[in-house]
C-alpha cells in the first residue's frame, strides 16, 4: 500500500536525426557583374530625428481615454471597498471591546 508505483518508461521512438539538414546561409550570386552605387538614404526629419513618433487616430485616442477611465474607476472602487471593510471591522471590534469591558466591570462589584 505504501510502496511507490513508478510509471512505465517511455516507449516513444527516438527521432531520426538523418532527416535533419544543417542550417546554412544561402548566398545568392549577383545578377550582373556591373558595379552599382547604392541609393542615398533619405535624411531624417529634424524634429523627430532621435525619437520614434506615435500617431494616434481619433478612435484610438477615444479608446485609450475610455480604457484609462475604466481602469481608474475599477481601481478606485476596489480601494474604497477595502477601506470600507477595514472601517466596519474596526468599528465592530471597538464595539465588542466596549461590551466586554462593560461585562467584566459589572461582574466584579467592589
Q: What is the pLDDT along the chain (110 residues), one digit of tens a residue?
A: 688 877 777 776 676 767 666 666 666 666 677 777 777 777 766 655 566 677 878 898 999 999 999 999 999 999 999 999 999 999 999 999 999 999 888 766 65
User: What nine digits make up the cell of 50?
Assistant: 532621435
DSSP string, 22-68: PP----PPPS-SSPPPPPPPPPPPSTTSSS------HHHHHHHHHHH
Residue 94 lies in a domain: yes
The answer to whether residue 99 sits within a structural domain is: yes
Q: Is residue 29 part of a domain?
A: no
Number of domains present in the structure of the chain: 1
| Residue 66 located in a structural domain | no
Q: Residue written as cell 546554412?
A: 24
Distance separating alpha carbons of residues 86 and 80, to the nearest angstrom: 10
* pLDDT for position 90: 97
Task: Note whether residue 17 is domain-resident.
Answer: no
The residue range of the domain holding 93 is 78-105
Place of cell 506615435: 54
85 domain residue, yes or no = yes
Residue 42 maps to a domain: no
Q: Is residue 87 part of a domain?
A: yes
Please count the CA atoms within 13 angstroms of the CA of 83 that sit on its side-chain side: 6
Cα 105 from Cα 101, distance rounded (Å): 6
Amino acid at each position: 500500500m505504501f510502496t511507490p508505483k513508478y510509471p512505465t518508461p517511455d516507449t516513444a521512438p527516438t527521432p531520426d536525426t538523418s532527416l535533419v539538414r544543417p542550417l546554412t546561409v544561402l548566398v545568392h550570386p549577383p545578377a550582373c557583374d556591373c558595379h552599382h552605387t547604392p541609393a542615398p538614404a533619405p535624411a531624417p526629419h529634424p524634429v523627430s530625428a532621435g525619437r520614434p513618433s506615435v500617431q494616434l487616430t481619433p478612435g484610438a485616442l477615444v479608446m485609450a481615454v475610455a480604457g484609462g477611465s475604466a481602469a481608474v474607476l475599477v481601481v478606485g472602487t476596489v480601494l474604497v471597498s477595502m477601506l470600507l471593510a477595514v472601517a466596519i471591522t474596526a468599528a465592530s471590534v471597538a464595539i465588542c471591546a466596549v461590551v466586554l469591558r462593560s461585562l467584566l466591570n459589572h461582574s466584579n462589584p467592589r
